[in-house]
Amino acid sequence: MSEIVYIDGEFLPKDQAKISVFDHGVLYGDGVFEGIRYYQRNIFRLEEHIERLLSSAKYILLDVPWSAKEIADAVVETCRRNKQDDGYLRLCITRGQGTLGLNPYLCPKPTMFIIATKIQLYPAEYYEKGLPIITAATRRYHAGALSPRVKSLNYLNNIMAKLEAVHSGTLEAIMLDDQGFIVECTGDNVFAVKKGVLYTPPTYQGALRGITRDAVIEIAGRLGITVKEERLTLYEAYDADEFFLTGTAAEIVPVIEIDKRKIGNHEPGPITREIRGHFHELTTVDGVRF
């Protein structure tokens, strides 16, 4: 069955789902988005995703005419029409059609579209055996240029770092800020484990406040694991007992090697495995069912 895509109130077959080439989301990456997972007909933390989407839109002065409930209803209906128990959603709001100039006020109304499909960032074997990664030369853009809390459609900075990873024979890369501190990977938050304590870069430094990141911090708290939001250098990464990545699409993936340095015992560690198990239990009960 063809995938059904929502665009501005219409549900269309995948091959009929189109937006204008004059949409500023296409021309300039002017818009915001969320990646959302659903598990066993449960849309994981939908309210939190929509809240973050609207906050991103507010930051870039994108006037969203739909309420949070209207957006949620559209997401739920898109899931229903696609008739899949598990999948991945891409929810986007663009500035809409305008002129070839930059002026966003010449775009009379935004465009919203929702895609429900499947995604797998990494082969299954890496979740069991661990992922080798590198550090990209491409730096994460400065937090003073654009807040890292904004999930904008412009991901070229991340794509350039991803290209470095692929060209080096790996699938992921750590991105540093202008001072050499670890921020995140190309599409994931990062966590390091040292002597039973969980460390993750603070969001004010340039890391996205990830939905999965928040879930991991909550799970760690329930398990009695101390979590510290601190600036991390590559020294702390190389010296970690365990290291893992988190993200909606990636979920939780262990890292066993960074820049040819073996992490811990060169296999997924016990804290990573425990948190991952609890996370998968959470995904089917925390959210909105359809």
**Backbone phi, then psi, for 167, in 5-degree steps?**
-65, -25
Are residues 92 and 31 in contact, defined by beta-carbon separation less than 8 angstroms?
yes
Residue 7 exposed, middle or buried by CB count within 10 Å (0-12, 13-18, 19+): middle
Options 3.10.129.10, 3.30.470.10, 1.10.10.10, 3.30.470.20; CATH of 4-117: 3.30.470.10
pLDDT for 204 beyond 90: no
Mean pLDDT within 55-65: 98
| Residue among 271, 5, 217, 279 nearest 117 (CA) | 5
Q: What local confidence, expressed as pLDDT, does residue 188 receive?
A: 97
Q: How far apart are CA 7 and CA 18, in angstroms?
A: 8
Domain ranges of the chain: 4-117, 124-282
Q: Per-residue confidence at 238, pLDDT binned at 50, 70, 90?
A: very high
Q: What local confidence, expressed as pLDDT, does residue 205 receive?
A: 85
Three-state DSSP class for 8? coil
**Start-to-end CA span in the chain (Å):** 19
Least confident among 18-27, 36-45, 144-153: 144-153
Cβ atoms within 10 Å of 149's Cβ, excluding its own: 16
| Residue among 89, 32, 23 nearest 66 (CA) | 32
The whole model's pTM is what? Answer: 0.96
**How does DSSP classify residue 289?**
E
Q: What local confidence, expressed as pLDDT, does residue 109 receive?
A: 98
Mean pLDDT within 168-184: 97
Which CATH number applies to 124-282?
A: 3.20.10.10
pLDDT digits (tens, 9 = 90+) for 94-148: 999 999 999 999 999 999 999 999 999 999 999 999 999 999 999 998 888 888 8
Tell me which residues are annotated as active site: 151
Buried b (16+ CB within 10 A) or exposed e, 231-267: ebebebbbebbbbbbbbbbbbbbbbbbbeeeebbeee
pLDDT for 1 beyond 70: no
Amino acid at 185: C
pLDDT digits (tens, 9 = 90+) for 122-133: 999 999 999 999
